[in-house]
Amino acid sequence: MENIDKRVAVAMSGGVDSSVAAALLKKQGYEVTGITMCFSAPGGPVFGGNLLHLETKKPSCCGLAGIEDARRVCHSLGIRHYILNLNKDFSRQVIGNFCREYLAGRTPNPCVRCNQLIKFGVLLKKTRKLGFGILATGHYARVSKKDGAYCLKKAGDLKKDQSYFLYRLNQAQLKHVIFPLAGMTKPRVRQLASDFGLRVAEKNDSQEVCFLPEGRYGDFIKSTQDAAGFRPGNFVDREGNILGRHRGVVFYTIGQRHGIGIPAPHPLYVIKIEAGKNRVVLGGRQEVYKREFIVKDTHFVNKPAKKKIEIKVRIRYNHKEAPAVVYLDKQKCRVVFRRPQFAITPGQSAVFYDKNTVLGGGIIQKIIDEDD
């Protein structure tokens, strides 16, 4: 009888991480197949769509070059390679949400949503139907099992740890997922790529949102939407005094300093976005620091045992998690940091950690301002 647990689908972007993940699994004796997700628009040559391809010199996992790199790696490893067109799912569940959130004055994290709904949602389901027992990716994170439940933990290399982006995974997903690079450093991964003879060994990492390799999110949204978020409006201070004019709320985020263009005796930062009033509130740096906020759409890898927990919370990927008290209440919770943190931003994810273990998290909904 065929051992389905030895059949592994590797999500391959054409980058060095997923390529090494595939090579390692083959070396370990798994039956490996590379699968590349393609995000396209109707009318083109790849499974009924044109590739979403932005002209850029920066690496992207959504472009033709990434797919071609993945194909070449699979060929060199002697494994099969397939392309799956997930345009409709990606457009509706990731890009659509991304645009709506910015238009509402919030700053979303599309990578979190993509991991939950696309990579470990749609893709995982498709690979299971195709007879693969496991889905592997090049993420830097760990999955372990304790007392019959799966745990999500930080990677061995904390500088590359990506557990923040994976906090919404559930038990059913973690059961069928492996991360071959869990304990490795990036230099080690590149050395392995070279040892395996992979052409992507020195390929640069993608640092931006995959469908925005140049990071121009405001221009991207403007090209796809017709909404009030692009109407110029007023910059105001906390008292409502007009300080100048802004381009449209989609071009700003909490904590932003550059691109404001208003002369002042001290640097001005975005401290609040009022999309309904088409206003952007500015203030000094200290006004960007807050302690308390509300989280919605909370999710836990395992169900929390208490209504109140003292843990560490990370409010964006490049933020060092800080001690906080979390008060749980069904699908919402209140988070209170011991010390004020810079730029708590609605739309971003707040992820809860117990040492190196991800407990869960949710979407930042509202900052509780002590001065209001």
Please give the pLDDT value at position 47.
29
Give tens-digit pLDDT for 91-135.
999 999 999 999 999 999 999 999 999 999 999 999 999 999 999
| pLDDT over 70 (residue 157) | yes
For residues 344 and 341, what is the distance between their CA atoms, to the nearest angstrom? 7
Right CATH for 230-283 from 2.50.20.10, 3.30.200.20, 3.40.50.2300, 2.30.30.280: 2.30.30.280
Residue 372 banded pLDDT, cuts 50, 70, 90: low
Please give the pLDDT value at position 38.
86
* Overall average pLDDT of the 354-362 stretch: 96
What CATH code would you report for 289-368? 2.40.30.10
- Are the CB atoms for 34 and 25 separated by under 8 Å? no
C-alpha to C-alpha distances, 134 to 115, 137, 165, 205, 207, nearest whole angstrom? 16, 10, 20, 25, 27
Please give the pLDDT value at position 220.
81
Q: What is the residue whose two structure tokens read 């209170």?
A: 336
Q: How many Cβ atoms from other residues are within 10 Å of residue 105's Cβ?
A: 23
The catalytic residues are 114, 210
Closest by CA to 173, choosing from 299, 305, 42, 350, is 299
The residues, ordered by sequence, that sit 6+ positions from 213 with a Cβ below 8 Å of its Cβ are 54, 56, 58, 59, 60, 63, 206
> Which backbone phi and psi does 359 adopt, to 5 degrees?
-85, -35
Predicted model pTM: 0.90
For residues 85 and 88, what is the distance between their CA atoms, to the nearest angstrom? 8
Give tens-digit pLDDT for 245-299.
999 999 999 999 998 999 999 999 999 999 999 999 999 999 999 999 999 999 9
Residues of the chain with CATH 2.30.30.280: 230-283
Which of 37-41, 215-219, 226-230, 315-319 shows the highest mean pLDDT? 315-319
Residue 215 banded pLDDT, cuts 50, 70, 90: low
Residue 221 banded pLDDT, cuts 50, 70, 90: confident
| pLDDT over 70 (residue 164) | yes
Q: Give exposure, 165-182, as e/b (b: 16+ Cβ within 10 Å).
A: bbbbbbeebbebbbbbbb
- Are the CB atoms for 34 and 73 separated by under 8 Å? yes
Residue positions counted in the chain: 372
The residues, ordered by sequence, that sit 6+ positions from 309 with a Cβ below 8 Å of its Cβ are 325, 326, 328, 352, 359
Answer yes or no: CATH 3.30.70.3270 is held by domain 4-195: no
Please give the pLDDT value at position 54.
43
Residues of the chain with CATH 2.40.30.10: 289-368
Give tens-digit pLDDT for 22-66.
999 999 999 999 999 987 643 333 322 333 444 444 445 556 788
Please give the pLDDT value at position 45.
31
